[in-house]
């Protein structure tokens, strides 16, 4: 134990004093804030402020659509109406898209039997928000036209088509109904995922790189004459894990101070208000420590088989796949935190460290699922320690030998 603590202390102090720690402590929260602001700004401004033309063979229809679109004050569209539009005018509008004088052209034509067709041509194919606004306005205009054609007065038609918005409410566990938290759960989920995944990945890989460096600089030769391989590995894990926890503690303290400031009061209100439960606060370090232990132990064993950092690249996928899987599951998690996929991802040891805490932010998670997930994660850490310490024991003394899979299997048998 004495050796483990000394090794952990050395690792901890060396990393804390290092430049990488100072830079990442500042840069990661800055990156999270920038991402949040950018994504919020992007969501708010998507599909607005566009300059489009409406081309139609029916002037009343084109004008009605134009009126509906401009009635949406958030859209801030500039609309040129060309109706009835000749072929030459339509060609000219298309060339204006090419020259970027127009963002797009909405073509709506009425046939003799009343059937209408609509197309929207633009340079961008992915502006769903803008298309949604136009489709909404166009359908209201067409419905209004149809009602008027059937003899309904224009005012009555407008009243019949009045837009109704849905007020999102949330049924709570205790049976009460409260206002939905808006976008804050999504922001919180992203924040939690980044807070968990970035230190786990950064420190896990950092530890792997340190092992390769120590192997190539032959420090292990000296260290193994004093301490056992498992003491070395455990000491390293504790030291580097402690650095990760320290960094998270700094972020949490900084965030708490920020939350109490007037700036946060202005920024984090309404849809952006973020709250953490005691359970989340208690379980965050548990999932961080277990997740870090799992991935770092895996990388330590694999790093011991490598000669250079380049050799480590081939194992990168093993770390990235669980993270990508977790990120890919975010939409599923938001849509239904209790879906089979959400439950499976928050229990599966490879993804639970990333998924469980963000999921808890969306909806209370049954205790049995939390307990199962922690037990499985802890068992996986134990199994990974068994596997990696065997690789580590042999690998750190193997110089100049490329570790192929059969070679690694032989090493496992040696130890």
Partner 1 sequence: MPVVELARVTKAYESKVAVNKLCLSIEPGQIFGLLGPNGAGKTSSIRMMMGITLPDAGTISLFGKPFVRNSLERVGYLPEERGLYKKMKVSDQLVFFGCLHGLQAAEARERAVAWAARMEIADALPKKTEELSKGMQQKIQFIATLLHSPELIVMDEPFSGLDPVNAVLVEKTLLELKEQGKAIVFSTHRMDQVEKLCDSICLINNGEAVLSGNLRQIKKGYERNRVIVEFEGSSDFLKSGEIAEARNFSGHAEIKLKPHGDAQKLLHEAAAAATIYRFELVEPSLEEIFIETVGGKADA
Q: Residue from 42, 45, 86, 217 that binds partner 1 (CB under 8 A)?
A: 217
In the complex with partner 1, which residue's Cβ is closer, 181 or 215?
215
Residues 4-63 that bind partner 1 (CB under 8 A): 6-7, 10, 14, 18
Among 35, 81, 202, 224, the residue binding partner 1 under the rule CB under 8 A is 224
- Can residue 309 be called a binding residue for partner 1 (CB under 8 A)? no
Name the H helices within 116-261: 128-149, 154-160, 184-216, 219-223, 229-259
Choices 94-102, 149-157, 174-182, 221-229; region in contact with partner 1 by CB under 8 A: 221-229
CB 394 within 8 A of CB 414: yes
* By CB under 8 A, residue 412 contacts partner 1: no
> Is there a contact between 394 and 407 (Cβ–Cβ < 8 Å)?
no
Look at residues 9, 31, 388 and name the one whose alpha carbon lies nearest to residue 198: 31
Q: How far apart are the first and last CA of the chain?
A: 22
Quote the least distance from Cβ 391 to partner 1, whole Å.
15
Decide if 402 contacts 307 (C-beta within 8 A): yes
Nearer to partner 1, 204 or 235 (CB): 235
Residue 225 touches partner 1, criterion: CB under 8 A: yes
x/- letters, 378..397, toward partner 1 (CB under 8 A): -------------------x
Minimum Å distance from CB 28 to partner 1? Answer: 22
Say which residues have a Cβ less than 8 Å from residue 343's Cβ, sequence separation at least 6.
369
State which of residues 219, 267, 376, 412 lies at the interface with partner 1 (CB under 8 A).
219
Cβ proximity to partner 1, 34 vs 222, nearer residue: 222
Residues 176-215 that bind partner 1 (CB under 8 A): 214
Chain position carrying tokens 């320690």: 385
Q: Is 119 helix (H, G, I), strand (E, B) or coil?
A: strand
Smallest gap from residue 14 Cβ to partner 1 (A): 6
Q: How many residues bind partner 1 (CB under 8 A)?
A: 21
Query: Between β-strands 78-82 and 104-110, what pairing exists: parallel, antiparallel or unpaired?
Result: unpaired
The window from 2-10, 101-109, 249-257, 280-288 that contacts partner 1 (CB under 8 A) reads: 2-10
Structure tokens at 140: 């209201």
Note whether 53 and 108 are within 8 A (CB).
no
Cα distance between residue 413 and residue 302, in whole Å: 16
| Binding residues vs partner 1 (CB under 8 A) | 3, 6-7, 10, 14, 18, 214, 217-228, 397, 410
């Amino acid at each position: 134990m004495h050796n483990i603590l000394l090794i952990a202390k050395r690792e901890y102090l060396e990393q804390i004093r290092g430049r990488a720690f100072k830079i990442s402590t500042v840069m990661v929260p800055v990156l999270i804030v920038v991402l949040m602001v950018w994504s919020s700004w992007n969501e708010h401004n998507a599909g607005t402020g566009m300059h489009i033309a409406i081309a139609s063979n029916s002037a009343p229809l084109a004008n009605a659509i134009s009126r509906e679109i401009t009635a949406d004050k958030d859209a801030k569209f500039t609309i040129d109406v060309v109706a009835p539009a000749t072929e030459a005018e339509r060609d000219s509008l298309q060339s204006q898209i090419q020259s970027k004088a127009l963002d797009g052209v909405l073509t709506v034509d009425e046939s003799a039997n009343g059937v209408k067709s609509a197309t929207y041509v633009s340079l961008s194919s992915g502006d769903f928000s803008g298309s949604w606004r136009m489709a909404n306005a166009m359908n209201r205009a067409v419905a209004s036209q149809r009602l008027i054609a059937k003899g309904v007065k224009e005012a009555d038609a407008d009243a019949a088509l009045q837009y109704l918005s849905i007020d999102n409410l949330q049924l709570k566990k205790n049976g009460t109904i409260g206002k939905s938290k808006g976008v804050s759960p999504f922001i919180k989920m992203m924040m939690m995922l980044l807070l968990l995944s970035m230190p786990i990945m950064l420190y896990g890989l950092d530890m792997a790189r340190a092992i390769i460096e120590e192997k190539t600089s032959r420090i292990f030769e000296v260290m193994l004459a004093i301490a056992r391989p498992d003491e070395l590995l455990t000491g390293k894990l504790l030291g580097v894990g402690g650095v990760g926890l320290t960094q998270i503690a700094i972020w949490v303290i900084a965030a708490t101070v920020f939350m109490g400031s007037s700036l946060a009061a202005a920024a984090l209100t309404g849809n952006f208000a973020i709250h953490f439960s005691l359970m989340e606060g208690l379980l965050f370090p548990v999932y961080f420590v277990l997740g870090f232990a799992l991935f770092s132990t895996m990388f330590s064993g694999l790093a011991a088989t490598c000669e250079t950092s380049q050799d480590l690249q081939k194992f990168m996928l093993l770390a990235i796949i669980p993270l990508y899987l977790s990120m890919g599951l975010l939409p599923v998690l938001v849509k239904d935190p209790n879906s089979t996929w959400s439950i499976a991802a928050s229990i599966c040891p490879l993804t639970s460290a990333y998924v469980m805490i963000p999921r808890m932010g969306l909806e209370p998670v049954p205790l049995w699922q939390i307990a199962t997930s922690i037990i499985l994660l802890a068992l996986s850490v134990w199994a990974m320690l068994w596997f990696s310490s065997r690789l580590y024991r042999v690998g750190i003394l193997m110089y100049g030998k490329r570790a192929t899979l059969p070679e690694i299997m032989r090493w496992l048998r040696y130890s």
